[in-house]
């Protein structure tokens, strides 16, 4: 018997001038695993945050079990049996599993009877769904996979009938993914409803019985999973084939401008994230680095750009050693030697969002002529320079005095790109250049990168978007668990082959 | 209420209207206090205005207080642009005063203008040195400057009492203070200037340090917004990660910002030692360092805001003491409470009515634009 448990009608949500959800209609049936798929920035997470009461829709209705409800906070959602497991876990690290789960639901001033009951209920839940969690372990001692289970257990304990999982596999190893899927299937068998948000086609085909596709804030299709295939879904998701076939001349790779030998890098927690990596980038080529988020790409980029210390191995720029574990150039010295870096996270690292646009347009180059003379900033030259490159890179609005946080994501990204590309670097490191950027800007950014390559710049492109890597790169290397697990010329290579490498299967 | 699009809010709404509304509210609440204390608030306001503007010496007192608040307010603001909460202005001012005195007394053989310049440098160096230790600990060890600077206030106070009692006390006197500086080293006071023009007025502590306060304001404006150093300090303050990415050292900038901050606080010692007491008196910073925090917050950490905010607190100090003379039910502490209310409304509750006020004006302007 199929009956809808969750119905969304005409949901709209805007953030400023960004229309994140447009007239969304969605029906989810009881006891199913329903996939919602779409590219990054398609509006999946926004939609589910509305269902979980984190955001309020501008218009539209939400029905649970046929009854219209008003969700003003996650509390309302929990009461209505909706639970959510976020991409970033909401756990107190130094609390135990038990303490985390009863947080906010302690029910008594001095722990006693209720706590005992909670323990028993939780152990029952663990048994039913084979979660295999020790309630007394501290969160900080648990692996990512287990933390996610704690989140699931928390939702179940609070009476969730509908469980929303937002990109649950982004941070998991393949084994952990298998375990998670087992748990999700057993939840389904017990009659729970699961909504799986993902941008990975393989997970949809594996796990779901129904799938909805989102693109640029709109719902573009619903179908039973058995009636579709990956190719069809991919087409619906992307909705364009422009991006996949950029006009690109034949590669004319020159001498090696940038190389990395046997590089090992640790993160802030002293975990080795980059393991014995070798790379070579030639002038006039784009080397694409593909991989699932969290496989060491971030640390690699930071080490290459001088932000993070090298544990062992060497980095060479134009044949000269610039960094090893003993001596290393800082980001500014590397810039002077012709290495530019567009960081992965523009708001955390690439920009000071409280600065005015012109201040960000000289960021990192502010101590150079003509921007500063004997430490005094040359306001007039900075402004005229800013106007010029804002026009050249089509940054909108073209007002150098506007505070940067008032620009859209795409225009913020253009501010960084224009700053870094304008110096005509010999080597360019680019991380996630189009994350959260609208389609128009994506094509513009891609075209600029191709232009740079044609002018002889050696480019390293790090991206989690396989499409992007495939459409831009001349050569592709795949990173998994800190190691380079494969290298391919970008001819006749399929996303399937790369996908298998990225998943660490081959 | 929907948040307003920040880019549409005119600057004068967020920088003038909002602080004025907050100030008005604070004064209304203060009026209520005075009313409860059994005095007429209207009469109190009249006394404050008379006391701070009504006669020439009163106005001079107001400007003297303003001078001190400008120094400590600027000090707080500079560190705050690097997101450092330097609440050690009190101690840095105290030690800065020591610098002034030691330089002035030891270099008294030099021509007076040179002694003045060296003493100002002494104030800056001593104040900066006192701020350097917490800055170094913050930069290398992550010891939070809020904790360390407040502890350094206590250390400074104890150290100065020790020095004033056991080391540099004027032995011919009983009190904990030093000998006076030679008379020719004293800063010309407002009274001296007036008598140059043949105007005879009574004593007031206002002296040429007021000009130094104006110079310091211009210096801070130039430093923070027009130089590479200010730019780098602000980058570190707003986004440390991004600063590292751009090759800007947080370590270096934390230390620079704190030392400049400490140096500015030290200038309070110039006003107090060369201008007023002409010797070190125990406890001369008298809370100016703390009030400077409120001044900076109210002035939105910009010299153009800090100057009027310092002037306002000057009015309150001077006018307030006038009120306590004339109104038996109002004690000095009442005005500490009034200051507290102003700090509450313009600092802690700064954003209480901001959304309403901003959206009111934005809507108004939209209607006007579409009409």
**Residue B156, domain member (yes or no):** yes
The per-residue pLDDT for B92 is: 98
> Buried b / exposed e across B134-144, counting CB within 10 Å, b at 16+?
bbbebbeeeee
Count CB atoms within 10 A of the CB of residue A438: 17
- Contact yes or no for A402 and B7 at CB 8 A: yes
Range 214-243 of B in CB contact (< 8 A) with A = 226-229, 231-232, 234-235, 238-239, 241-243
Q: What is the 3-state secondary structure (H, E, C) of A113-166?
A: HHHHHHHHHHHHHHHHCCCCCCCCCEHHHCCHHHHHHHHHHHHHHCCCCEEEEE
Determine the distance in angstroms separating the CA of A17 from the nearest CA of chain B, rounded to an integer: 10
Position B44 in a domain:
no
Among all residues of chain A, which has the CA nearest to that of B229? A375
- Report the distance separating Cα B195 and Cα B174, nearest Å: 34
User: With contact defined as beta carbons under 8 Å apart, do B57 and B204 qualify?
Assistant: yes
* CB atoms near residue B301 (< 10 Å): 19
Q: Which residues of A touch B232 (CB under 8 A)?
A: 366
Q: To the nearest 5 percent, what fractions of chain A are helix, strand and coil?
A: 35, 30, 40
Residue B192 in any domain: the answer is yes
Q: With the CA atoms of B148, B149, B154 and B160 taken in that order, what torsion angle do they form, in degrees rounded to the nearest 10?
A: 120
Stretch 12-41 of chain A: residues touching chain B, C-beta under 8 Å: 16
Edge-first strand order for the sheet with A4-15 is A18-29, A4-15, A59-64, A67-69
pLDDT at B370: 63
Beta-sheet pairing, A33-37 with A339-342: unpaired
Say whether B242 and A375 touch across the interface (CB within 8 A): no
Nearest to B238 among A355, A376, A377 (CB): A355
B2 touches A: beta carbon within 8 Å: no
- A115 by Cβ neighbours in 10 Å (0-12 / 13-18 / 19+) ranks as middle
CB-CB under 8 Å, B238 with A354: yes
**Mutation choice for A interface testing from B15, B242, B244, B301 by most A CBs within 10 A:** B242
Answer yes or no: is B38 within a domain.
no
Out of A349, A355, A402, closest to residue B241 by CB:
A349
Strand-strand pairing, A458-463 and A427-431:
parallel
Mean pLDDT of chain A: 87
Distances (CA, A) of B282 to B164, B169, B277: 7, 10, 11
- Average pLDDT of B269-295? 94
Task: Please tell me the distance from the alpha carbon of residue B205 to that of residue B276, in angstroms, as a whole number.
Answer: 6
Q: Give the integer Cα–Cα distance in Å for A411 and A397.
A: 8
Alpha-carbon distance values, A197 to A46, A166, A300, B118 (Å) = 11, 5, 28, 68
B284 within 8 A of B217, measured Cβ to Cβ = no
The answer to whether the CB of B346 falls within 8 A of the CB of B297 is yes
**Confidence band of A243 (pLDDT split at 50, 70, 90):** very low
- How far is residue B20's CA from residue B353's CA, in Å, rounded to a whole number? 11
Mutate to test the interface with A, among B3, B231, B240, B252 (most CBs of A within 10 A): B231
Q: Which of B211, B162, B217, B168 is nearest to B187 (CA)?
A: B211
- In B, residues 4-43, which contact A (CB 8 Å cutoff)? 5-7
**A402/B contact by beta carbon, under 8 A:** yes
* CA quadruple A317, A322, A323, A329: dihedral sign: negative
Q: What is the pLDDT of residue B95?
A: 98
Q: Kindly determine whether residue A352 and residue B231, on different chains, have CB atoms separated by under 8 Å.
A: no
**What pLDDT was estimated at residue A497?**
79
**For residue A132, which phi and psi values (nearest 5 degrees)?**
60, 45
Task: Take residue B201 and report the two structure tokens written for it.
Answer: 């007025």
Distance from CA of A132 to the nearest CA of B (A): 39
- Residues contacting A327, CB < 8 A, separation 6+: none
Nearest to A331 among B226, B234, B247 (CB): B247
How high is the pLDDT of residue A246?
Answer: 65
| CB proximity A343 to B under 8 Å | yes
Whether residue A432 contacts residue A463, with contact meaning beta carbons closer than 8 Å, is answered with yes
Q: Give the distance from residue B232's alpha carbon to the nearest chain A alpha carbon, in angstroms.
A: 9
A1 has pLDDT over 80: no
Predicted confidence (pLDDT) at residue A436 exceeds the cutoff of 90? no
CA–CA distance, B29 with B44 (Å, rounded to integer)? 13
Is A349 in CB contact (< 8 Å) with chain B? yes
Tell whether the model's pLDDT for residue B2 goes beyond 60: no
Do B232 and B243 form a contact (C-beta atoms < 8 A)? Answer: yes
Element housing B90 (H / E): helix B89-106
Task: Report DSSP letters for B239-292, one per residue.
Answer: -HHHHHHTT--HHHHHHHHHHHHHHHHHTHHIIIIIIIISS-BTTTTTTHHHHH
Query: A384: Cβ–Cβ under 8 A, 6 or more apart, which residues?
Result: none
Contact (Cβ atoms closer than 8 angstroms) between residue A200 and residue A169: yes
Condensed to tens digits (0 to 9), the pLDDT of residues B224-247 reads: 999 999 999 999 999 999 999 999
- Is residue B369 situated within a structural domain? no
Confidence at A244, pLDDT banded by 50, 70, 90: very low
Omega within 30 of 0 (cis) for the link into A355 = no
Complete edge-to-edge strand list for the sheet that includes strand A312-317: A272-282, A256-266, A312-317, A320-323
Closest C-alpha to B131, from B170, B91, B178 = B91
Query: Using the beta-carbon criterion (under 8 Å), do A350 and B242 form an inter-chain contact?
Result: yes
Q: Between the CA of residue B173 and those of A384, B16, B94, B169, B343, what are the distances in Å? A: 65, 51, 21, 8, 40
pLDDT at B81: 96
Q: How far is A165 from chain B (nearest CA, A)?
A: 29
Query: Would you place residue B356 in the very low, low, confident or very high pLDDT band (cuts 50, 70, 90)?
Result: confident
User: Among residues of chain A, what percentage have pLDDT more than 90?
Assistant: 48
Which residues of chain B have a CB within 8 Å of the CB of A351? 239, 242
Does A355 sit within 8 Å of B247, measured CB to CB?
A: no
Of A428-442, A475-489, B161-175, which gets the smallest average pLDDT?
A: A428-442
Pairwise CB contact (< 8 Å): A352 & B235: yes
Token pair for residue A106? 């302690």
A429 at B interface, C-beta within 8 A: no
Residue B4 has pLDDT above 70, yes or no: no
Contacts of B7 in chain A (CB under 8 A): 402-403, 406
Q: Which residue has the higher pLDDT, B5 or A462?
A: A462
Tell me, yes or no, if A305 comes closer than 8 A to chain B by beta carbon: yes
Q: Answer with the residue of higher pLDDT: A232 or A51.
A: A51
Structural domain count, chain B: 1
Nearest to B246 among A363, A377, A406 (CB): A363
CB A348 to CB B241 under 8 A? yes
For residue B130, CA distances in Å to A503, B146, B155, B233, B301 come to: 56, 14, 10, 20, 22
Give the separation between CA A299 and CA A301, rounded to whole angstroms.
Answer: 5
Q: What percent of chain B has pLDDT over 90?
A: 70
Whether A4 has its CB under 8 Å from any CB of chain B: the answer is no
pLDDT average, residue stretch A72-80:
89
pLDDT beyond 70 at B369: no
More confident residue, A292 or B193: B193
CB A431 within 8 A of CB A259: no
pLDDT for the residue B111: 95
Query: Tokens at residue A325, please?
Result: 């574990």
Task: Find, in chain B, the residue whose alpha carbon is nearest to that of A380.
Answer: B226
pLDDT of residue A216: 79
Q: What digits encode the pLDDT tens for the residues A329-386? A: 889 999 999 999 999 988 889 999 999 999 999 999 998 888 988 889 999 999 999 9
d(CA B336, CA A166): 53
pLDDT of residue A241: 46
Q: What backbone phi and psi angles, to 5 degrees, belong to A407? A: -85, 155
**CB of A328 less than 8 A from some CB of B:** no
**By residue range, what is the domain housing residue B221?**
75-309
Buried b (16+ CB within 10 A) or exposed e, A23-51: ebebebbbbbbbbbbbbebbbbbbbbbbb
Assess B141–A contact: CB distance below 8 Å, yes or no.
no
Minimal C-alpha gap between B301 and chain A (Å): 15
B260 and chain A in contact, CB less than 8 A: no
Q: Is A316 on the interface with B (CB under 8 A)?
A: no
Residue given tokens 């409304």 in the structure block: B345
**What would the pLDDT profile of B114-165 be if each residue is shown by its tens digit?**
999 999 999 999 999 999 999 999 999 999 999 999 999 999 999 999 999 9
Q: Is A330 on the interface with B (CB under 8 A)?
A: yes
Q: Is residue B289 part of a domain?
A: yes
Examine the pLDDT at A296 and tell me if it is beyond 60: yes
Q: Which of B226, B231, B244 is nearest residue A366 as measured by Cβ atoms?
A: B231
pLDDT at B257 over 70: yes
pLDDT at B367: 73
Q: What confidence tens digit (pLDDT) does each residue in A467-480 have?
A: 788 889 999 999 98
Q: Which residue among B6, B226, B242 places its CB closest to the CB of A351?
A: B242
**What is the arithmetic mean of pLDDT over B72-101?**
97
Chain B nearest CA to A216, separation (Å): 23
Interface residue of B8, B247, B256 to substitute, partner A, most A CBs within 10 Å: B247
Least confident of A474-478, B182-186, B285-289, B329-333: B329-333
Residue B49 lies in a domain: no
Identify the band that residue A138 occupies on the pLDDT scale cut at 50, 70 and 90. very high
Average pLDDT in chain B: 91
Residue A245 has pLDDT above 60, yes or no: no
Share of chain A above pLDDT 70, in %: 94
CA dist list (Å): A9 to A61, A215, A219, A424: 5, 17, 11, 50
> Over 50: is that where the pLDDT of B345 sits?
yes
Helix (H, G, I), strand (E, B) or coil at A443: helix
**Which domains does chain A show, CATH number per domain?**
4-238 (3.40.50.300), 255-338+426-440+448-506 (3.40.50.300), 351-424 (no CATH)
Cross-strand pairs, A266: A272
Residue B317 lies in a domain: no
Asked if A335 has any chain B CB less than 8 Å from its own CB, the reply is yes
**pLDDT range class, residue B63, cuts 50, 70, 90:** very high
Omega of the bond prior to A397 within 30 degrees of 0, cis?
yes
**Predicted pLDDT of residue B6:** 62
CA distance B10 to chain A (A): 12
């Amino acid at each position: 018997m199929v009956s809808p448990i969750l119905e969304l009608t005409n949901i709209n949500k805007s953030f400023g001038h960004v229309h994140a959800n447009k007239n969304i209609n969605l029906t989810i049936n009881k006891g199913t695993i329903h996939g919602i798929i779409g590219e990054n920035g398609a509006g999946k997470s926004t939609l589910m945050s509305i269902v979980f009461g984190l955001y309020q829709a501008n218009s539209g209705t939400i029905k649970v079990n046929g009854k219209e409800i008003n969700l003003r906070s996650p509390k309302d959602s929990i009461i209505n049996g909706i639970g959510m497991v976020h991409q970033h876990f909401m756990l107190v690290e130094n609390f135990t599993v038990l303490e985390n789960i009863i947080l906010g639901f302690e029910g008594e001033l001095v722990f006693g009877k209720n706590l005992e009951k909670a323990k028993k209920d939780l152990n029952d839940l663990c048994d039913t769904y084979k979660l295999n969690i020790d309630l007394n372990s501290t969160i900080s001692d648990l692996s990512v996979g287990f933390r996610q289970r704690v989140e699931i257990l928390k939702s179940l304990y609070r009476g969730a009938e509908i469980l929303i999982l937002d990109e649950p596999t982004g941070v998991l190893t393949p084994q952990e993914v298998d375990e998670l899927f087992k748990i999700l299937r057993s939840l389904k068998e017990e009659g729970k409803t699961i909504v799986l948000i993902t941008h990975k086609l393989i997970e949809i085909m594996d796990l779901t019985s129904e799938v909805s596709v989102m693109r640029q804030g709109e719902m573009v299709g619903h179908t039973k999973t058995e009636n579709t295939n990956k190719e069809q879904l991919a087409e619906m998701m992307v909705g364009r084939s422009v991006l996949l076939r950029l006009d690109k001349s034949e590669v004319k790779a020159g001498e090696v401008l940038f190389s990395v030998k046997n590089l090992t890098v640790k993160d802030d927690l002293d975990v080795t994230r980059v393991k014995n990596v070798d790379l070579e980038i030639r002038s006039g080529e784009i080397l694409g680095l593909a991989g699932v988020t969290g496989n060491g790409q971030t640390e690699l980029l930071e080490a290459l750009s001088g932000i993070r210390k090298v544990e062992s191995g060497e980095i060479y720029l134009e044949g000269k050693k610039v960094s090893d574990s003993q001596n290393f150039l800082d980001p500014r010295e590397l810039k002077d030697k012709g290495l530019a870096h567009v960081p992965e996270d523009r708001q955390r690292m690439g920009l000071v969002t409280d600065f005015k646009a012109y201040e960000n347009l000289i960021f990192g180059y502010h101590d150079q002529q003509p921007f500063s003379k004997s430490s005094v900033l040359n306001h007039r030259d900075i402004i005229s320079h800013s106007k010029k490159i804002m026009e050249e890179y089509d940054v909108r609005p073209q007002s150098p005095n506007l505070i940067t946080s008032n620009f859209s994501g795409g225009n913020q990204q253009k501010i960084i790109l224009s700053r870094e590309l304008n110096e005509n670097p010999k080597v360019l490191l680019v991380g996630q250049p189009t994350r959260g950027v609208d389609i128009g800007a994506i094509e513009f950014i891609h075209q600029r990168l191709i232009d740079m390559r044609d002018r002889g710049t050696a480019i390293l492109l790090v991206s989690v978007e396989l499409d992007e890597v495939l459409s831009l790169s001349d050569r592709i290397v795949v990173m998994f668990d800190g190691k380079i697990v494969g290298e391919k010329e970008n001819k006749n290579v399929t996303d399937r082959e790369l996908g298998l490498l990225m998943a660490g299967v081959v | 209420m929907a948040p307003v699009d920040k880019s549409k809010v005119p600057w004068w709404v967020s920088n003038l209207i909002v602080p004025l509304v907050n100030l008005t509210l604070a004064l209304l609440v203060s009026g209520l206090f005075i009313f409860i204390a059994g005095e007429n608030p209207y009469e109190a306001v009249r006394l404050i205005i008379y006391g701070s503007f009504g006669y020439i010496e009163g106005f001079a007192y107001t400007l003297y207080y303003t001078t001190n608040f400008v120094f400590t307010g600027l000090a707080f603001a500079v560190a705050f642009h690097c997101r450092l909460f330097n609440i050690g202005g009190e101690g840095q001012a105290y030690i800065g005063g020591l610098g002034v005195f030691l330089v002035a007394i030891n270099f008294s053989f030099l021509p007076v203008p040179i002694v003045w310049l060296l003493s100002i440098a002494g104030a800056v160096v001593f104040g900066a040195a006192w701020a350097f230790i917490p800055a170094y600990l913050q930069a290398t060890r992550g010891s939070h400057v809020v904790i360390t600077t407040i502890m350094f206030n206590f250390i400074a106070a104890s150290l100065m009492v020790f020095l004033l009692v056991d080391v540099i006390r004027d032995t011919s006197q009983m009190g904990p203070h030093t000998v006076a500086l030679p008379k020719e080293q004293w800063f010309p006071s407002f009274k001296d200037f007036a008598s140059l023009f043949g105007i005879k007025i009574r004593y007031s502590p206002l002296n040429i340090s007021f000009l130094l306060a104006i110079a310091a304001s211009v210096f801070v404006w130039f430093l923070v917004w027009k130089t590479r150093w200010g730019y780098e300090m602000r980058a570190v303050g707003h986004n440390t990660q991004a600063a590292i990415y751009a090759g800007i050292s947080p370590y270096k900038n934390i230390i620079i910002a704190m030392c400049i901050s400490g140096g500015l606080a030290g200038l309070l010692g110039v006003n107090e030692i060369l201008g007023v007491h002409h010797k070190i008196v125990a406890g001369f910073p008298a809370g100016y360092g703390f009030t400077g925090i409120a001044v900076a917050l109210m002035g939105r950490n910009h010299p153009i805001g800090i100057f009027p905010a310092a002037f306002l607190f000057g009015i309150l100090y001077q006018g307030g003491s006038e009120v306590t003379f004339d109104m038996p039910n109002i004690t000095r502490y009442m005005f500490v409470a009034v200051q507290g209310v102003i700090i509450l409304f313009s600092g802690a509750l700064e954003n209480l009515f901001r959304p309403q006020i901003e959206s009111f004006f934005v809507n108004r302007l939209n209607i006007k634009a579409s009409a």
